[in-house]
Structures are given as C-alpha cells and as structure tokens.
C-alpha cells in the first residue's frame, strides 16, 4: 500500500509515472548519475533535461536562424529556443531537481528554480556547503536540500515507493 500508485492498480492499468526535470549545470555527468541510480532502484520516473551539449546549446540560435554580429542577439536567439524546451519540461514536471556546481554563475539554474516555485512545483536543490549562504532564498523555496545526487535519488525512491 505504500506506492504512490500501486504497481498494478485494481484494474491492471499501468502506473502513473513521476516526471522529474533536471535543471542546472551541464559540465558534469550528474544527470546520468541520477538516472542510473534510479534505474538500479527500479524507479518509475520520466526524466527531462535541457540540451546538455554546451556548444550546441550556445550556438543553436545562430545555427538554425542565421548569424548575428552582436553576441547579445546570438545569445538571445539561442536562449529563446532553449526556453521552449525548458518551459515544457518544468510545466510537465512533478519535481524539479536543481543542481548548483562549483563553477560559473549558473543564473539560469536559479531562474528555473524561481519559475518552478511560482508554478508550485516540488523542488530539490543539490549544492555543496560552500554555496549555502548565497543560495538561502533558493533553498527556502525547496522541499529538500541535498549534498549530492545520492540523497536526491533516495528522496525520489521514498516519494514513489514509500521506503528507503
């Protein structure tokens, strides 16, 4: 009786999946780590993520729509196209996991967290202790703040299966 939805409900319909959006830095393989851990645990989760090919993510606007001399407009075109994927992913998600890494500004991660918060999504934040103070407003909007991917997966497992 502990599953969110019983594996096979009383009429043998399929399970409802948990939709999870993986927001944040794209320079390490933390997303694969989460997905692999969930797979090992047999979790029933539908993951989405931004395009994680950094070069492609930066250049998609000018590659598709034509060059720009000004970097501002190059970035604007690219960010607008990427926003189509991000918006759908956040709106369709039940849980948004936002990972803050050690490097870079990562303002897009904080922006996603704010967007998800206004839509009343459940948020899990992952960051090291070093970032604790500057991330306090983001953490305060979260359902859980974890130190690593393993803790985040334990939460997903607990939410879906009701055990640890």
Residues 38-67 that bind its own copies (CB under 8 A): 38-39, 42-49, 51-53, 56, 60, 63-65
Minimum distance, C-beta of residue 113 to its own copies, in the bound complex (Å):
6
Residue matched to tokens 């190059």: 74
Q: Which of residues 121-140 bind its own copies (CB under 8 A)?
A: 122, 131-140
Question: How many whole angstroms separate alpha carbon 95 and alpha carbon 21?
Answer: 6
Cα torsion for 38, 44, 50, 52, to the nearest 10°? 40
Q: Which of residues 86-125 bind its own copies (CB under 8 A)?
A: 86-89, 92, 94-95, 100, 104-120, 122
Residue matched to tokens 């909007």: 141
Size of the site for its own copies (CB under 8 A): 100
What binding mask, one character per residue, do residues 3-42 give for its own copies by CB under 8 A, x or -? Answer: -xxx--xxx-xxxxxx------------xx--x--xx--x
Question: How many whole angstroms separate alpha carbon 160 and alpha carbon 107?
Answer: 30
Minimum distance, C-beta of residue 131 to its own copies, in the bound complex (Å):
7
Q: Is 50 exposed, middle or buried (0-12, 13-18, 19+ CB in 10 A)?
A: buried
CB 20 within 8 A of CB 95: yes
Q: Which of residues 65-84 bind its own copies (CB under 8 A)?
A: 65, 69, 71-73, 75-84
Minimum distance, C-beta of residue 23 to its own copies, in the bound complex (Å):
10
Minimum distance, C-beta of residue 27 to its own copies, in the bound complex (Å):
13
Give the residues across from 19 on adjacent strands: 46
Question: How many whole angstroms separate alpha carbon 35 and alpha carbon 53?
Answer: 17
Nearer Cβ to its own copies (16/27): 16
């Amino acid at each position: 009786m502990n599953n969110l939805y019983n594996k096979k409900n009383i009429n043998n319909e399929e399970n409802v999946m948990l939709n999870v959006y993986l927001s944040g830095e794209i320079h390490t393989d933390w997303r694969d780590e989460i997905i692999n851990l969930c797979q090992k645990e047999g979790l029933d989760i539908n993951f989405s993520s931004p395009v994680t090919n950094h070069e492609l993510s930066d250049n998609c606007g000018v590659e598709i729509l034509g060059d720009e001399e000004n970097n501002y407009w190059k970035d604007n075109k690219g960010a607008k196209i990427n926003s189509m994927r991000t918006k759908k992913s956040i709106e369709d998600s039940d849980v948004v996991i936002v990972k803050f890494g050690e490097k870079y500004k990562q303002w897009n991660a904080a922006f996603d967290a704010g967007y998800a918060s206004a839509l009343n999504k459940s948020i899990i934040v992952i960051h090291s202790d070093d970032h604790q103070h500057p991330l306090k407003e983001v953490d305060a909007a979260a359902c859980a703040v974890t130190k690593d991917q393993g803790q985040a997966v334990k939460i997903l497992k607990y939410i879906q299966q009701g055990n640890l």
